[in-house]
Amino acid sequence: MLTLEKRPQPSKAFAYLTPLIAILATMFFGGLLFMALGKNPFESIRTIFWDPLFGEFAFYYRPQLFVKGGPLILIAIGLSLGFKAGIWNIGAEGQYIVGAICGAGAGLAFYPMEAWYIFPIMIIAGALGGWAWAMIPALLKVKFQTNEILVSLMLVYVADQLLASMSLGLLKNPEGQGFPGSRNLKDYPSAFNDEIITGTGMHWGVAAAFIAVIFAYVLLNRHMLGFSIRLTGEAPRAAKFSSVNPNRIILFCLGMSGALAGLAGMFEVSGPSGQVSIDFASGYGFTAIIVAFLGRLHPVGIFFAGLLLALTYIGGEMAQGNLGLPSAAIQLFQGMLLFFLLAVDLLTNYRIKLSRKEAV
């Protein structure tokens, strides 16, 4: 019989190995899934993981890695702070949407004026929008002990409705011949989040993601606030004993993850997407949860996990186009990654032992 035995110390080796094992297991079972759908599993896996980087059209897809990875990393960094403290913000998607609406709205308010300060104002507005949306579950949790998982998740659907209403109403392009959606910010230089270096996919949001990674690393490893966050997640009673005010941690973590998600939304709407439209939301806020865990809630890990997930996005799109794989299969594939990660994760703290049947 297999039994699990708790390790006296968490295994360092497994902490680093689990993401790799999870990726391999996902490739294997994903391959089986694609086979069951009547596709060649090797070709499918190659299309997803290899072709975007080294295939014929890699010159087009490689920059996409940053374009897709930037928002994922930015959101996941924020989420990881909360997750470390045991505060589960599941509604980053909503904060992302509200950040985009606020950022775009702030920019469009100045249209057609051109000025250098418009873009910074949009950044601030985007961050504030996401922050405010996250403050709703935060304050409700602090004041009434509501469950932040449910509240933040439900607010995603509210944000979805808000997005639809904005694209059809307040922010609708007056010159858009009745089509839903705002003006395209790509046509408004002061508000356009252009590539910093042309052809690399590096826009300001990607730069912000890099900064967030460094900021989170310093916070968690070198600062008392980061220590308090980790302590709250590891042992809440010890945190109280150590003089940590749990409410302050809740407000900080939810606020921070909301602000970063809002920033991601703002950079997306003013750059790659270009306009507030009904179909603006693309699930980054949810995929970022996978990114955060795949990266072991560690800033550097999240950076690589974000790029990997971006790869599955791009490769998934290619597989849809070239091989005719259904998009649900790609989502399933991403979900599998999280599933295997969490399963293999057990080995960090436990080891599997073969034993004769015996009650302990």
Partner 1 sequence: MTETLLTIDKLTKAYPGVVANDSVSFEIKQGEVHALLGENGAGKSTLVKMIYGLVKPDSGVMTMNGAPFTPAEPRAARASGVAMVFQHFSLFDALDVAENIALGMENPPPMRDLAERIRSVSEEYGLPLDPYRTVGDLSAGERQRVEIIRCLLQDPKLLIMDEPTSVLTPQEVDILFETLRKLTAEGVAILYISHKLEEIRTLCDAATVLRLGKNVGTCIPAETSARDMAELMVGTELQTPKSAGADLGEVVLDISGLSMPSPSEFGTALKNLHMRLRAGEVLGIGGVAGNGQDEMLLALSGEVRVDTNALKMNGKAIGNLAPNARRALGLLTAPEERLGHAAAPDMSLTENALLSGNVRRGLSERGFLKWGKTRAFAEEIIEKFDVRTPGPDNAARSLSGGNLQKFVIGREVLQAPEVLVVNQPTWGVDALAAASIRQAILDLAAGGTAVIVISQDLDELMEVADNFAALNEGRLTEKRPTKGLSIDEIGLMMGGAHGMEAAHADA
Rule CB under 8 A: which residues touch partner 1?
8-10, 222-225, 227, 230-231, 234-235, 237-243, 245, 358-360
Nearest to 116 by CA among 208, 204, 198, 191: 191
Backbone angles phi and psi of 5, in degrees to 5: -125, 130
Nearest distance, CB of residue 68 and partner 1, angstroms: 34
Nearest distance, CB of residue 150 and partner 1, angstroms: 23
Cβ nearer to partner 1, comparing 4 with 224: 224
Nearest distance, CB of residue 43 and partner 1, angstroms: 43
Distances (CA, A) of 350 to 9, 83, 162, 201: 9, 21, 45, 42
Nearest distance, CB of residue 2 and partner 1, angstroms: 16
Token reading at 277: 């439209």
Given the structure tokens 């839903």, which residue do they identify?
Answer: 180
Cβ nearer to partner 1, comparing 194 with 234: 234
Nearest distance, CB of residue 340 and partner 1, angstroms: 23
Nearest distance, CB of residue 214 and partner 1, angstroms: 15
In whole angstroms, how large is the CA radius of gyration of the chain?
22
Cβ nearer to partner 1, comparing 41 with 236: 236
Distance CA 353, CA 37 (A): 36
Nearest distance, CB of residue 242 and partner 1, angstroms: 5
Is the peptide bond prior to 112 cis by the omega test (within 30 degrees of 0)? yes
CB atoms within 10 A of CB 224: 11
Distance CA 131, CA 246 (A): 19
Cβ nearer to partner 1, comparing 40 with 245: 245
Q: Are strands 350-354 and 2-6 parallel, antiparallel or unpaired?
A: antiparallel
Cβ nearer to partner 1, comparing 197 with 360: 360
Nearest distance, CB of residue 289 and partner 1, angstroms: 22
CB atoms within 10 A of CB 35: 13
Cβ nearer to partner 1, comparing 228 with 257: 228
Q: Contact 257/95 with Cβ under 8 angstroms?
A: yes
156: amino acid identity, one letter? V
Which helix or strand (DSSP H or E) is residue 168 part of? helix 148-168
Distance CA 285, CA 309 (A): 13
Cβ nearer to partner 1, comparing 187 with 234: 234
Distance CA 61, CA 144 (A): 47
Cβ nearer to partner 1, comparing 232 with 287: 232
Cβ nearer to partner 1, comparing 223 with 326: 223
Strand, helix or coil at 353? strand
Distance CA 51, CA 44 (A): 10
Backbone angles phi and psi of 353, in degrees to 5: -125, 135
Nearest distance, CB of residue 359 and partner 1, angstroms: 6
